[in-house]
Chains A and B, each alone.
Chain A
């Protein structure tokens, strides 16, 4: 232990003596980690967003098609369409929801009707109640920010006929569910019907929750048999679509970054393998005064590890700041291309430990290895030859 401390102290002195060179190397490491880390952090954050979105998607969504487009379903027909007594079915409901274009926002708002518990989903406030004196609503964080409303404020939203409906904001969704709730407005069933001009007795679709999700294809088959014009969307199919689309893009981005990583590591290798005359002589002196090869290599290892880990930390912090504070400028387009999100989405920081270790393995380990090899070569030659 004492030997390690002494060698570490020597390594720190050596870093100090060649400060500019080591700073330049740390910057190179920081650059590689920063670029690669940004891509990984952004990919992980987006993956986290869509996983959180899919977690709340029902196991089956049943739509009725008319002319190849989704049409309204009959609320009363729910029991006829969904085999509620089938062992795998836990519950089913006719949902009232739809898109409402809000000119002031320049985008669609997703209006969702019905009273449901929203515990844990709200950053502030409570769920809307039916029969309140004034219609109540809960809004996504992007809507709340755009209209600068908080629980207790009022929000005027035009209904399908263009008449303004005054809603009392009673809650705001948590930012972590932004991908899912950013443009959502949840209100009671009657208000939602009014906003969407959706007649009583009819609904947008049926949502089915299963107690055994693996039985989804069986239940879907039964639904299709009962309703010939049904389109049944299974949750697994959505997951596969997201994975194929998103992982393909993030994989492509990572693959594009590999050459950049390789080039930078090659530069580092080139920089390090050309051990200068002074350094070679210094290693010779150390051996001449009684240092063993392992002492030289250990000191060198400390030196490289400090530069690499220091650089990696700076790079990781820069990547974090780039993705979560600077909105992933430059990379956003590459990974967000699958959807135009309005209002804008704020990413929730997600750090995958596997990705962090991968980054460490891909950058820090080769860097340290690259510096050890020339030192080992210099430390292995005759002392006499090294110091001449």
Chain B
């Protein structure tokens, strides 16, 4: 593992998320504290239902915590009003969902441009930025292809391009190598390593050893029944 950078890009202190599933009270995340610095690649491992995705949603400001504090780029987002939190999140966090959430019947380029729409701006600049990313991710030829006609690996990289188009400080990924073959998984891990080298803080959930055991990963933590522990604990 590399030396951990000192500046925190994203962090959580004693964060919890509880909700009711019918009459049953579910402790999805309980008392988790975590900090990821700029230039650091951290993986969260754990079985299905352990609360990994909920933790990612809490850190990314997509889910409001029941308790605790979440900080993005040095600012607590818990007490922000919804639209302030959205703006802050848009400026600082890129998110890749497990199901990728690319919009069907839109081209790859249109999907990558989506986060840029609310900020307006010159369209040409946006397109050029998106095209640079697609070129870097080996998707230049596919820019006008509908996402439903892309392969799993291409979609995965397309979702990553969309997450990076606003050049966020933090990149959150939910199972980024889950549905791709070995070659594409290796490519995704390479791209994450490049982003880490560029100074981005990266937190990825996974139970894929191809990512978890990669030597470029700085730290791995394990989620179990909504709580975090070190892998060797």
Give chain A's interface residues, CB within 8 Å of chain B: 1-7, 9-10, 13, 17, 278, 281-282, 284-295, 299, 382-384, 387
**Which of B33-41, B81-89, B135-143, B193-201 is found at the contact surface with chain A?**
B81-89
Q: How far is the CA of A17 from the CA of B64 in the complex (A)?
A: 33
In the complex, residue of chain B having the shortest beta-carbon distance to the beta carbon of A287: B86
The reply to whether B62 and A291 contact each other, CB–CB distance below 8 Å, is no
The reply to whether A278 and B104 contact each other, CB–CB distance below 8 Å, is yes
Is B230 an interface position by the 8 A CB rule?
A: no
The reply to whether A290 and B166 contact each other, CB–CB distance below 8 Å, is yes
In the complex, residue of chain A having the shortest beta-carbon distance to the beta carbon of B85: A292
- Mark B115-144 against chain A: 1 for CB-CB distance below 8 A, else 0: 111111111000000000000000000000
Give chain B's interface residues, CB within 8 Å of chain A: 57, 62-64, 82-83, 86-87, 89-90, 95, 97, 99, 101-106, 110, 114-123, 162, 166
The reply to whether A6 and B121 contact each other, CB–CB distance below 8 Å, is yes
Evaluate whether A2 and B62 lie within 8 angstroms (CB atoms) in the complex, with A285-B103, A288-B95, A292-B87 already known. no
Evaluate whether A384 and B62 lie within 8 angstroms (CB atoms) in the complex, with A3-B120, A286-B114, A292-B83 already known. yes
The reply to whether B123 and A384 contact each other, CB–CB distance below 8 Å, is no
Q: Inside 8 A of B62's CB, which chain A residues have their CB?
A: 288, 382-384
Separation in Å of the B200 CB from the closest CB of chain A? 17
Highest count of chain A CB atoms <10 Å: which of B82, B103, B104: B103
Evaluate whether A292 and B97 lie within 8 angstroms (CB atoms) in the complex, with A13-B106, A382-B64 already known. no
Q: How far is the CA of A382 from the CA of B60 in the complex (A)?
A: 13
Q: How far is the CA of A108 from the CA of B162 in the complex (A)?
A: 79
Q: Inside 8 A of B99's CB, which chain A residues have their CB?
A: 387
Q: Which of B101, B105, B110, B115 contacts A387 (CB 8 A)?
A: B101
The reply to whether A2 and B121 contact each other, CB–CB distance below 8 Å, is yes
The reply to whether B82 and A293 contact each other, CB–CB distance below 8 Å, is yes
The reply to whether B122 and A295 contact each other, CB–CB distance below 8 Å, is no
The reply to whether A285 and B106 contact each other, CB–CB distance below 8 Å, is no
In the complex, residue of chain B having the shortest beta-carbon distance to the beta carbon of A383: B62
The reply to whether B118 and A6 contact each other, CB–CB distance below 8 Å, is yes
Q: Which of B57, B83, B119 contacts A293 (CB 8 A)?
A: B83
Q: How far is the CA of A5 from the CA of B116 in the complex (A)?
A: 12
Q: Which of B82, B89, B105, B117 contacts A10 (CB 8 A)?
A: B117
Q: How far is the CA of A285 from the CA of B159 in the complex (A)?
A: 12
Highest count of chain A CB atoms <10 Å: which of B63, B102, B114: B114
Given contacts A6-B117, A290-B89, A387-B99, 6 further A-B contacts (CB under 8 A): A2-B122, A284-B101, A289-B162, A290-B87, A292-B87, A299-B117
Q: Inside 8 A of B115's CB, which chain A residues have their CB?
A: 289-290
The reply to whether B101 and A285 contact each other, CB–CB distance below 8 Å, is yes
Q: How far is the CA of A382 from the CA of B65 in the complex (A)?
A: 12
In the complex, residue of chain A having the shortest beta-carbon distance to the beta carbon of B82: A293
Separation in Å of the B48 CB from the closest CB of chain A? 14
